[in-house]
Amino acid sequence: ARMKKVVKFGGSSLADAKQIQKAAAIIKADPERRYVVPSAPGKRFSDDIKVTDMLYTCYDLAEQGLDFSDALDAIQARYNDIISGLGMDFSLQAEFSEIAENFKKRAGKDYAASRGEYLNGKVIAAYLGFPFVDAAEVIFFQPDGSLNDEKTEKVLRERLSGLENAVIPGFYGANPDGTVRTFSRGGSDVTGSLVAKAIHADIYENWTDVSGCLICDPRIVNNPEPIKTITYRELRELAYMGATVLHEDAIFPVRAAGIPVNIKNTNQPEDRGTMIVSESAEHCDHIITGIAGKKGMSVINIEKDKMNSEIGFGKNVLRALEKSNVSFEHMPSGVDTMSVVIATEALAGKETAIIDEIKSRVHPDQIYIESNLALIAV
Ligand code: ASP
């Protein structure tokens, strides 16, 4: 059977006509790149505004009953720039009229934001000559706002099995009543992952503006190398610590299906990027895969001679946290010491209650809080 690749392009990869041409060249260079998931046009330069943010602002005006026509015109101008830059004979006039009507009817913030992907999907589908599949017809949410995985997978698979190629806009789907709902910000990654799982893709290519996940934060270390291969589990750890590469919820569908993700750079398509895999055999190019960190941490330090041999000591400490409804980040321990790392924000106002509770439960020799710490994950 022929390989099937799902390709998702982020906002900076589709910010203007030039970027869309690069994306199109990448897609056309490989006939296995059959299903395309676009984001809305992102920033063209560092203080530019993403179309998604323009839409939120515009809809805010509509919701307040204010005139939003200039704001909507500015969005339409971005698409018109793209369309003319691509040399296309194509118009979104009908779509923009409909959007204006729906804004007047207060169609909702999610509907508004989703139009960025919807419109970009229309343009890109026309440019590539691929069919357009509206995400509201193939991605479904439950009444509680979580994803309806089963229905989504079934409908996506049925719909795409009949199509050699398709463009499916990212970031949104439909509520049970048919209204539009978006994922959280950056959610086009999730759409790509769902499409990849539904069609049993061989690979999910996630095209962005960096050549993969970097070994560490480029704002702290000059010019770090990209990670060649990382497991889903390692990526979860680094992402939790603030290394933002892929939307958190994008990992689960592909991981469940054993589909590797390749993070690739639209501006340097020959770079191999980062492969995210479930098990890593060829994983020994570096002992350390990556380093990430989070500031704003506090540590409760607990000392007691021979705590190590006291059955239930750890449980009792954690019970005290549970009682104050606080979750912890990390819990290193020694023979006579235990440290519980907690986000300072989560601990705020609860310090005394927690310390008193720990004291009465485990009678430590010493207990104190240290703040202004960072947690570093290696
Ligand atoms: N356009 C949306 C956002 O800016 C979703 C995405 O780009 O993935 O968050």
At residue 2 the predicted structure's pLDDT band, cuts being 50, 70 and 90, is confident
Average pLDDT over residues 294-307: 95
Residue whose CB lies within 8 A of the most ligand 1 atoms, among 7, 19, 37, 39, for a mutation test: 39
User: Looking at the predicted structure, is the pLDDT value of residue 90 above 80?
Assistant: yes
Q: Which atom of ligand 1 is found nearest the CA of 117? A: 1
Q: What is the Å distance from ligand 1's center to 172 Cα?
A: 10
**What's the farthest any 2 CA atoms get from each other in the chain?**
78
User: Looking at the predicted structure, is the pLDDT value of residue 11 above 70?
Assistant: yes
Q: Are 158 and 141 in contact, with CB atoms under 8 Å apart?
A: no
Average pLDDT over residues 165-190: 97
Does this model's pTM top 0.85?
A: yes
Residue whose CB lies within 8 A of the most ligand 1 atoms, among 19, 52, 110, 139, for a mutation test: 52
pLDDT of 244: 78
pLDDT of 281: 62
pLDDT of 283: 57
User: Looking at the predicted structure, is the pLDDT value of residue 37 above 70?
Assistant: yes
Determine the 3-state secondary structure of 273 from DSSP.
coil
Token pair listed for 29: 């260079």
Q: What is the Å distance from ligand 1's center to 168 Cα?
A: 14
Residue nearest to atom 6 of ligand 1 (CA): 186
Phi, psi of 274 (to 5 degrees): -110, 130
At residue 238 the predicted structure's pLDDT band, cuts being 50, 70 and 90, is confident
Q: What is the Å distance from ligand 1's center to 278 Cα?
A: 26
Residue ranges lining ligand 1, Cβ < 6 Å: 11, 39-40, 50, 52, 116, 170-171, 185-189
Q: What is the DSSP letter of 298?
A: E
Q: Amino acid letter at 205?
A: E
Token pair listed for 190: 């999730």
Q: What is the Å distance from ligand 1's center to 11 Cα?
A: 7
At residue 280 the predicted structure's pLDDT band, cuts being 50, 70 and 90, is low
Residue nearest to atom 8 of ligand 1 (CA): 186
Q: What is the Å distance from ligand 1's center to 329 Cα?
A: 28
Q: What is the Å distance from ligand 1's center to 39 Cα?
A: 6
Picking from 86, 112, 77, 80, the residue whose alpha carbon sits closest to that of residue 98 is 112
